[in-house]
């Protein structure tokens, strides 16, 4: 069975957390455009500096740059068995480009799970989000909680993503509502959308997600 899964949801809805579970279960690659841009911004290059400035403002990287990066990744052999896209597409031109690139590589989208979370909760979640600088584990912490990774054998230091600072968070949620929310109807019209309640406990979201994928396959 091939799975072409496109995780849709606002920043902080839990796409990355759920994608990690799907990677384990289906052994297919997790393609996170945000992770790819975080790697690019670390590079000492003109593109790296441009991407860093865009990310820190909460805006979107231009479609042409984003589409090319995802296209290169999707054409790698490990995507032949399926893929989990997380954070892409985020605009209508990106969604149209994705349809084209999948046609070219003989792949298709099986399901678009949409994790729905109210905006006010998103802002709170992103403001409490901390990431391990060693293994990448993500935590939701209160201001006084210890900022140390709890994963066995890791003990890395936790940091807050620069774009999770409160001023940027509000902008990112606005950008989602303006540019990405229209994709909900784009995929609903194609019969691919499955809306899930992203405000449930993580394990319950996972259970509904796995049931939806099994039903779509």
Give yes or no: 76 in active site: no
Give yes or no: 15 in active site: yes
How far apart, in whole angstroms, are the C-alpha atoms of residue 2 and residue 105?
13
Give yes or no: 73 in active site: no
Catalytic residue among 41, 73, 125, 172: 172
Nearer to ligand AMP, 49 or 214 (CB): 49
- How many residues touch ligand AMP under the rule CB under 6 A: the total is 16
Angle 12-14-18 from CA coordinates, rounded to 5°: 160
Q: Is 54 in the site for ligand AMP (CB under 6 A)?
A: yes
In this chain, which of 10, 18, 31, 88 binds ligand AMP, going by CB under 6 A?
Answer: 88
How far apart, in whole angstroms, are the C-alpha atoms of residue 151 and residue 50?
33
CB 32, CB 87: distance < 8 Å: yes
Task: For the CB of residue 203, give the shortest distance to ligand AMP in the complex, in Å.
Answer: 23
Q: Which residue has the tokens 């805006």?
A: 59
Buried b (16+ CB within 10 A) or exposed e, 88-103: bbbbeebbebbeeebe
CB 155, CB 148: distance < 8 Å: yes
In this chain, which of 9, 87, 113, 198 binds ligand AMP, going by CB under 6 A?
Answer: 87
Task: For the CB of residue 90, give the shortest distance to ligand AMP in the complex, in Å.
Answer: 4
**By the criterion CB under 6 A, which residues form the site for ligand AMP?**
11, 33-34, 37, 54-55, 59-61, 66, 87-88, 90, 94, 163, 172
């Amino acid at each position: 069975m091939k799975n072409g899964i496109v995780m849709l949801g606002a920043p902080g809805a839990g796409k990355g957390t759920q994608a990690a579970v799907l990677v384990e279960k289906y052994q297919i690659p997790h393609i996170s455009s945000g992770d790819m841009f975080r790697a690019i911004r670390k590079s000492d290059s003109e593109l790296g500096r441009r991407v860093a400035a865009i990310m820190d403002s909460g805006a979107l990287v231009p479609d042409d740059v984003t589409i090319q990066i995802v296209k290169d990744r999707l054409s790698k052999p490990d995507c032949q068995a399926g893929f989990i896209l997380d954070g892409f597409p985020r605009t209508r031109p990106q969604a149209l480009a994705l349809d084209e690139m999948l046609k070219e590589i003989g792949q298709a989208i099986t399901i678009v799970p949409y994790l729905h979370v109210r905006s006010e909760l998103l802002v709170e979640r992103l403001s409490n989000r901390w990431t391990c600088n060693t293994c990448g584990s993500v935590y939701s912490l209160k201001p006084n909680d210890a900022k140390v990774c709890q994963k066995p054998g890791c003990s890395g230091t936790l940091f807050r993503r620069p774009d999770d600072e409160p001023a940027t968070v509000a902008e990112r949620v606005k950008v989602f509502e303006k540019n990405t929310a229209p994709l909900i109807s784009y995929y609903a019209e194609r019969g691919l959308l499955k809306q899930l309640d992203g405000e449930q406990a993580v394990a319950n979201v996972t259970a509904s997600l796995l049931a939806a994928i099994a039903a779509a396959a």
